[in-house]
């Protein structure tokens, strides 16, 4: 390499590793130099989106073993079903983050749907979210007017056990904490 304005050359050894699906189109539209593209394009991998993969259960187990290396963690069957129906717009990074949150919230070392972050449910497509909402809406604590009335007694009857409250209410522990703070109980 010869620095700009210099006559002396210096040896340089480096590799460019990039992940994008836009370079090919940029070359076609003359927004990226084709000679530079062919210099850096040594290997192209086309990876399927997570929603197109059929091995999500084994992928989840692999990621769990990496994230919780010291313990064995189980995934409930309803959570496995939700994982299979999710569209995963954030791909593998989203799955990793969902599992990190679930591990942090699961005290029993089994991940249930109440351990999943709330935004996981927002990302589910309309068909996948309907059964979850129906199941969740049967508990009076999910209705805005009812949970305000029932949460204080539920809190005292469970001795403040947030995990148990989440299980009974059918919501995540995060939601229980938010509701408790809004009522001034936590």
Q: What are the backbone dihedrals phi and psi of residue 57, each rounded to the nearest 5 degrees, phi first?
A: -60, -45
- Name the domain count of the chain: 1
Most confident of 38-42, 69-73, 122-126: 38-42
CA angle, residues 108, 101, 52, in degrees to nearest 5: 110
CA distance linking residue 2 with residue 23, whole number of Å: 26
Q: Is residue 21 part of a domain?
A: no
Please give the mean pLDDT across all residues of the chain: 81
pLDDT (average), residues 64-88: 88
- Whether the CB-CB separation of 76 and 108 falls below 8 Å is answered with no
- pLDDT one-digit tens code per residue, 83-137: 988 888 888 899 999 999 999 888 768 899 889 988 888 777 444 433 333 333 4
Closest CA to 50 of 7, 95, 13: 95
Q: Is residue 84 part of a domain?
A: yes
pTM, entire model? 0.53
Q: Is residue 126 part of a domain?
A: yes
Q: Has residue 141 got a pLDDT over 60?
A: no
Q: Is residue 30 part of a domain?
A: no
User: What CATH number does residue 116 fall under?
Assistant: 1.10.8.60
> pLDDT exceeding 90 applies to what percent of the chain?
24
DSSP-assigned states of every residue in 2-69: --TT-S-------------SSHHHHHHTTSS-HHHHHHH-S----PPPGGG-S-HHHHHHHHHHHHTT
Q: Is residue 113 part of a domain?
A: yes
Q: Is residue 18 part of a domain?
A: no
Range of the domain at 58: 50-183
Q: How confident is the model at residue 155 (pLDDT cuts 50, 70, 90)?
A: confident
Residue 57: per-residue pLDDT: 92
């Amino acid at each position: 390499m010869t620095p700009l304005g210099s006559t002396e050359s210096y040896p340089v050894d480096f590799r460019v590793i990039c992940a994008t699906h836009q370079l090919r189109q940029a070359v076609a539209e003359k927004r990226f130099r084709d000679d530079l593209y062919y210099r850096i394009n040594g290997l192209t991998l086309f990876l399927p989106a997570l929603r197109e993969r059929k091995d999500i259960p084994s992928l989840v187990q692999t990621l769990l073993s990496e994230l919780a290396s010291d313990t064995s963690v189980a995934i409930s069957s309803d959570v496995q079903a939700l994982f299979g129906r999710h569209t995963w717009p954030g791909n593998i990074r989203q799955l990793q983050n969902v599992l990190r949150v679930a591990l942090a919230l699961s005290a029993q070392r089994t991940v249930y749907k109440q351990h999943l972050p709330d935004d996981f449910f927002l990302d589910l497509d309309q068909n996948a979210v309907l059964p979850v909402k129906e199941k969740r809406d049967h508990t009076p604590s999910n209705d805005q007017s009812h949970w305000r009335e029932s949460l204080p007694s539920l809190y005292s009857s469970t001795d403040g056990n947030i995990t148990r409250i989440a299980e009974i209410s059918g919501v995540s522990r995060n939601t229980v904490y938010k509701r408790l703070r809004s009522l001034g109980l936590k």
